Structure 1
Amino acid sequence: MTGTDGSGTVPASAFASLPGAVVPELDAGVLPLVPLHYGDPFREQRELEAGRAIVDASDLGIVALVGDDRLQLLHALTSQDLAHLAPGESAETLVLDPQGRVEYAVRVVDDGETSWLIVDPGLAAPLAVFFDRMRFMLRVEVSDRSLEFAVVASAAEVPGLPVAAPTGVPLTWSDPWSAVVAGGWQYAEGAHPGVDRTWLESIVRRDALHEVAALVRSGSIGVAGSLAAEALRIAAWRPRQALDADERTIPHELDWLRTAVHLEKGCYRGQETVAKVHNLGRPPRRVVMLHLDGSDAVLPPHGAEITAEKDGEPREVGRVTSSAIHYDLGPIALAVVKRAVPIDVALSVRVGDDAVAASQQAIVPPGAGATADVPRLPRLGRG
């Protein structure tokens, strides 16, 4: 299976011809890269946040599970309680390895006949292979549908958007990040910016993307680039597998127990690690928000080294995972640092030969975990 048009090249995004579209050079991926912006990233952030713009997210992958046992398969293999997922209901779940490390972060919406899974670019094919190998005698058919369907994202429902609905149930995934889901747990303390996040990922037929772009040309809806979407995501402390996770990530480090893990469900791969770290241990790393010095107008790339002074020498304490310039907060980043890094320590981020000063805002605090030692607080529901 390939994503080319037969000529050996990846077709351009349907949004690439919109006025002002700035698209990165095509890489060797299966699906087209999406526009970064359309000339004014800050305005695009505001329009997107207000629900007046859409984002081309057609680089995301889509896997379909069809059959009477599809939810049983998902429930058995992943971290979320999905056994009774209702048609049209959205969920987030994780596929973990036996040591509890994140292999796939999956958005799920079911239409009563098919479970539609949305994943970050490049992950649909291996995820489909994984589920196909694990279905054994279950009545489930697995397929990568990324070449037939695509995702359009927004912060509000968009009139006229041709959302796919094969069974009459619109295939729109609603991000649960605005609240701690039933069975979940939040390590972040105090006010959480995620409570204000609304985010919808609507599945449309890929051949209908030109129709979606026509809505923008007609003025029916505005458009924003991927940079705007990333800035809003980072400001909401929302983790994304493609950028914020690596081969060592466990869910606790990114506060992913908030929406993607059900702590009271039965056995699944990696559950022992999830339970031990949450109840008895501490995650070895933790995610933080960095507020960056913007005086040099330098934004650190993914993987940039973070250092702190110790005994007069800079020591590496973590890495930047995502960064953006937010229209209100300025230069910000998500980063994963060692658990023991003090919250009030001065940090520097290496960008080439420069060192950018950064202040740390704890998302997962140093004391996260070991909940068996503290009073158990009531968890929030779906709100």
Structure 2
Amino acid sequence: MRSPVLGRQGAVAPPEGHPEAGVPWHFGDPFAEQRSAVRAAAVVDRSHRQVLAVTGSDRLSWLHLVISQHVTELAEGQGTEALILDSHGRVESHLVLGHTTLGGEPTVLADTDTGAEITSALPKGGTQSVVAYLDAMRFWSDVTVADVTDEWALLTVLGPHADAVLEELELDIDLDSERYAVAAGSGIVARRMPGPAPGGIDLFVPRAELMAWWERLVSAGAREAGTWAYDALRVESMRPRRGVDTDERTIPHEVGWIGGAAHVAKGCYRGQETVSKVFNVGRPPRNMLLLHIDGSQEIYPETGDPVLYKDRTVGRVGTVVQHHELGPIALALIKRSVPVDAELVVGQDDRMAQAAIDPDSVQEEGPAPGRDAVQRLRG
């Protein structure tokens, strides 16, 4: 799906094979776009995201059983993040939810990365799209799952002045200040997001009116920005993207999705045993860390390249991006045993560069709750 925003003057498409294909990568000055997103307001076209709608009287109780998040009490006007895991607890899809009313019908609106494949729970096995998997899991529930990507497109307004941009448009929307707050009005749905820093507002707009809404937001004071700016702030904020910063072995604990997207106390979802066990008595084999890359030779790794320490592969490179202040940075999944001050090499073949771990990205590990409880019982 190619966004009409790519036809705007100055819009530059991503390189071939880039995960952000179909939407603008930047508008001629990606660093200035990042600064606007941090200091004022910028609008990013994210209409390549897949949008799903879940309706029916059992929508919350049913979703509670098939995703990793606790949503039985998700009130209208609230949202959250969630995962679909395989039976071993490995991440297959990441969703951002919003509970609202569309056309007079209570609806859970969700967006996710396109192209996610879910390991089928059906007897024949194989893989399915997210929509096909969810539809196959309905059984007797009063639930309808629909792919509404052709109807709704996602735009994101980033920056401390995001609310001022919406106020300038005089929309009939009363959006709460709480994170993941959701509100519908003026023919669109707004959802407040906590990241990437400094936060912003997602707008689901009718796809047929995508260009008109883009122009309205720009006229209201939001600078045109591409996904380069969004990714730079996302990497700095340590917010992973499924399929880019994760691989086929990633569990939620490795990328910071425990709590925010995967509930550790509720059961009744695929992969719950792994989530609970690793949280309570174990440690994830890898951690997602922020890397600073030596850009002096203007050679950078690519997503999926290895991370080397003393000539041994100790990790995998995720998103690589040029940040307006930090320079070349990347997210990477790295073995827990690698020292924080390790001298790393990232990349392969003719794109190898030195890299260092950002110490602020290393999370201090306290005692695992289960192990701590056992020690207390033992006195």
**1:312-336 CA distance string (max 9 Å, x none):** xx11111110111111111111000
Q: Distance in 2 between matches of 1:127 and 1:83?
A: 21
Paired residues of 2:92 and 2:116 also in contact (CA < 8 A): no
Find the counterpart in structure 1 of residue 10 from structure 2.
Answer: 20
Structure 2: gaps of 5 or more residues: 118-127, 174-181, 375-379
Paired residues of 2:218 and 2:224 also in contact (CA < 8 A): no
**1:35-63 CA distance string (max 9 Å, x none):** 11000000000112234210000000001
Q: Report the CA distance between 1:349 and its aligned residue.
A: 0.9
How many pairs are equivalent?
Answer: 344
Q: Report the CA distance between 1:129 and its aligned residue.
A: 0.9
Find the counterpart in structure 2 of residue 207 from structure 1.
Answer: 208
**1:86-115 CA distance string (max 9 Å, x none):** 112120011111111111111000114111
Q: Distance in 2 between matches of 1:104 and 1:263?
A: 17
Q: Distance in 1 between matches of 2:291 and 2:133?
A: 35
Q: Distance in 1 between matches of 2:304 and 2:16?
A: 22
Structure 2 residue corresponding to 1:146, chosen from 142, 145, 149: 149
Q: Tell me the TM-score normalized by structure 2.
A: 0.83
1:117 is matched by which residue type in structure 2? A
Q: Distance in 2 between matches of 1:96 and 1:349?
A: 29
Find the counterpart in structure 1 of residue 370 from structure 2.
Answer: 372
Find the counterpart in structure 2 of residue 346 from structure 1.
Answer: 343
Paired residues of 1:32 and 1:58 also in contact (CA < 8 A): no
Q: Report the CA distance between 1:372 and its aligned residue.
A: 2.5
Q: Report the CA distance between 1:128 and its aligned residue.
A: 1.1
Cα RMSD (Å) of the superposition? 2.8
User: Share of identical aligned residues, percent?
Assistant: 38
2:111 is matched by which residue type in structure 1? I
Q: Distance in 1 between matches of 2:249 and 2:339?
A: 22
2:241 is matched by which residue type in structure 1? R
Structure 2 residue corresponding to 1:174, chosen from 183, 189, 192: 192
Q: Report the CA distance between 1:218 and its aligned residue.
A: 4.1
**1:248-292 CA distance string (max 9 Å, x none):** 110000011141122222332111100111111111111111011
Report SS of the residue matched to 1:45: helix
Q: Distance in 1 between matches of 2:187 and 2:60?
A: 17
| Alignment partner of 1:34 is 2:23 | yes
- Cα distance 1:279–1:165, how it changes in 2: closer, same or farther (>3 A)? closer
Q: Report the CA distance between 1:365 and its aligned residue.
A: 4.6
Q: Distance in 1 between matches of 2:184 and 2:200?
A: 22
Find the counterpart in structure 1 of residue 107 from structure 2.
Answer: 114
2:25 is matched by which residue type in structure 1? L
- Cα distance 1:324–1:105, how it changes in 2: closer, same or farther (>3 A)? same
Paired residues of 1:93 and 1:105 also in contact (CA < 8 A): yes
**1:154-189 CA distance string (max 9 Å, x none):** 222332398997788952233345xxxxxxxxxxxx
Q: Distance in 1 between matches of 2:51 and 2:25?
A: 21
- Cα distance 1:252–1:266, how it changes in 2: closer, same or farther (>3 A)? same
Find the counterpart in structure 1 of residue 241 from structure 2.
Answer: 240
Q: Report the CA distance between 1:351 and its aligned residue.
A: 4.8
**1:330-366 CA distance string (max 9 Å, x none):** 1111000122212221101125424311111254558
Q: Report the CA distance between 1:246 and its aligned residue.
A: 1.4
Report SS of the residue matched to 1:287: strand
Paired residues of 1:254 and 1:286 also in contact (CA < 8 A): yes
Report SS of the residue matched to 1:256: coil
Q: Distance in 1 between matches of 2:320 and 2:170?
A: 30
- Cα distance 1:344–1:24, how it changes in 2: closer, same or farther (>3 A)? closer
| Alignment partner of 1:67 is 2:60 | no
Q: Report the CA distance between 1:73 and its aligned residue.
A: 1.2
Paired residues of 1:26 and 1:33 also in contact (CA < 8 A): no
How do residues 250-261 of structure 1 correspond to structure 2 at under 5 angstroms?
250-261=251-262
Structure 1: gaps of 5 or more residues: 1-9, 178-193, 377-383
Q: Distance in 2 between matches of 1:42 and 1:259?
A: 30
Q: Report the CA distance between 1:213 and its aligned residue.
A: 3.0
Q: Report the CA distance between 1:76 and its aligned residue.
A: 1.2
Q: Distance in 2 between matches of 1:28 and 1:238?
A: 18
Structure 1 residue corresponding to 2:355, chosen from 348, 353, 358: 358
Find the counterpart in structure 2 of residue 300 from structure 1.
Answer: 301
1:116 is matched by which residue type in structure 2? L
Find the counterpart in structure 2 of residue 127 from structure 1.
Answer: 130
Find the counterpart in structure 2 of residue 190 from structure 1.
Answer: none
Report SS of the residue matched to 2:14: coil
Structure 1 residue corresponding to 2:80, chosen from 64, 74, 91: 91
Q: Distance in 2 between matches of 1:232 and 1:259?
A: 19
Report SS of the residue matched to 2:244: helix
- Cα distance 1:100–1:229, how it changes in 2: closer, same or farther (>3 A)? same
Find the counterpart in structure 2 of residue 181 from structure 1.
Answer: none
Q: Distance in 2 between matches of 1:234 and 1:89?
A: 25
